[in-house]
Amino acid sequence: MAAQDGSEVEGMEAEVTQNVPEVLCEAAGHGDVAGTEQASLTDGESTSTQTAAVSNGEESDEGKEMVDVKIIWNKNKYDLKIPLDGTGAKLKEKIHTLTGLPPAMQKVMYKGLLPEDKTLREIKVTNGAKIMVVGSTINDVLAVNTPKEVIQQEVKAEENKKEPLCRQKQHRKVLDKGKPDDVMPSIKGTKERLPTVPLSGMYNKSGGKLRLTFKLEQDQLWIGTKERTEKIPMGSIKNVVTEPIEGHEDYHMMAFQLGPTEASQYWVYWVPAQFVDAIKDTVLGKWQYF
């Protein structure tokens, strides 16, 4: 019996001995999991640090000469501090951050259309300057029934079929009155920004005197005559047609198309040539006219 009991004890010891490695392996497995969790935690900390480093990778404005400007868009006003040596393109990026309006959809105005390749210092932006932004969201553009580009192309095609505008009877009766004595001086072969005062001394289709005032803050064109002043939203102007006046090429005749057909054109005569491109840029945007 004793021998038999001894054998049973030895068998039990062997069974316990065989189970020990399993327990040890299981414990080791828990250790691996803990190690993995620790490694994951460590990796997570590294990732967070790296993300922070990337987030802070934007070029710092510290030490740069700054200028405070006021951005005006869609009747909203935003205060912005930006490096004076930053370009117009950089300003558009800042405006995008403020308004959500993509740079490609922005028309930024400061004494005329703001050039993207020049710095704010070069175009003489000063503290407190008001910078007007005109532009529509993509949804607004898609909602337009007749895109301006289509209307402009149709008008262009029609113009190519016709005789010069200044020879047409409806325009000759105004042009034959001659150049107005008080019209603003013109400079042929140059391009200038819009003046800070209204463009005056020109004629309308009835031969009456008128002036053009560009109210950038309200995004409006004011056409003033002796009798009244018409306030036209720039967004409603579908196209701008211009042509030099024969014999006086330093002046243009110009039409603002307010609807889908030529019948809606508002004609202005004796516009100084140096302001023609600035007017187109202001009303239509540089990316929209021919």
The string of pLDDT tens digits covering residues 95-131 is 988 888 888 888 899 988 889 899 999 989 999 999 9
Which DSSP state fits 236? G
240 and 280 Cβ atoms separated by less than 8 Å: yes
Tell me the DSSP string of 236-257. G--EEEEEEETTEEEEEEEEEE
CA distance linking residue 261 with residue 283, whole number of Å: 18
Lowest mean pLDDT among 4-18, 44-58, 228-242: 44-58
Contact yes or no for 133/109 (Cβ under 8 A):
yes
- pTM over 0.85? The answer is no
Over the stretch 30-66, which tens digit does the pLDDT of each residue have?
445 444 444 444 444 444 334 333 333 456 677 889 9
